[in-house]
């Protein structure tokens, strides 16, 4: 009897001291976090800088490239193994559909098969730097697409 009360008290205390994050849930009871309009409207407070991009690229290499590819093409080794079709962040059309707030939210909490996110592992500034890095992939893709193709003249 005393053991039951002790175990129940420990579980209750653990639940109070370590509550689950309060995410909005679907009506079907899904525990996957949901993006709110406030999340979508968030503005990136971190300006793009070479230093910020460098630190974000390092983090991206550790945590993101395995799925999203070294340069954001969506063809990382793990994505290929799992047969996942991910966005090509080098395509500016893909990025222009998403706000910085949306990108920040996905980096923070994940989406779909992206387990977890960086919210518990990375400071907020790092996650905003990752948003800047992802945006830079699209700018590089746009620059590559705008380069004129040279033709080899026939002699």
User: DSSP letter string over 123-135?
Assistant: -HHHHHHHHHHHH
Dihedral sign of CA atoms 89, 140, 135, 71 in order: positive
DSSP 24: -
Q: Is the pLDDT of residue 70 over 90?
A: yes
Lookup result for tokens 């380069």: 147
pLDDT digits 0-9 by tens, 93-132: 989 989 999 999 999 999 888 877 899 999 999 999 999 9
Q: What is the mean pLDDT of the chain?
A: 79
Going by pLDDT thresholds of 50, 70 and 90, the confidence category of residue 35 is very high
Instruction: Choose the weakest-confidence range: 9-18, 34-43, 119-128.
Output: 9-18
Q: H-helix or E-strand containing 56?
A: helix 50-63
Q: Are 109 and 103 in contact (CB under 8 A)?
A: no
How many residues would you count in the chain?
A: 155
pTM for this entry:
0.72
Residue predicted with more confidence, 26 or 133: 133
Going by pLDDT thresholds of 50, 70 and 90, the confidence category of residue 21 is very low
Lookup result for tokens 């700018």: 139
Determine the topology of domain 48-145 in CATH: Cytochrome Bc1 Complex; Chain D, domain 2 (1.10.760)
């Amino acid at each position: 009897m005393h053991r039951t009360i002790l175990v129940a008290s420990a579980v209750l205390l653990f639940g109070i001291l370590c509550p689950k994050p309060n995410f909005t849930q679907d009506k079907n009871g899904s525990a996957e976090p949901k993006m709110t309009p406030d999340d979508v409207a968030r503005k990136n407070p971190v300006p793009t800088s070479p230093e910020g991009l460098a630190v974000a690229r390092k983090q991206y290499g550790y945590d993101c490239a395995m799925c999203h590819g070294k340069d954001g093409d969506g063809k990382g080794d793990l994505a290929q193994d799992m047969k996942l079709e991910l966005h090509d962040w080098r395509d500016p059309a893909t990025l222009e559909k998403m706000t910085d707030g949306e990108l920040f939210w996905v980096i923070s909490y994940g989406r779909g098969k992206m387990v977890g996110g960086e919210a518990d592992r990375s400071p907020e500034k790092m996650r905003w730097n990752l948003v800047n890095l992802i945006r830079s992939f699209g700018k590089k893709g746009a620059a590559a697409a705008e380069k004129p193709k040279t033709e080899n003249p026939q002699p």
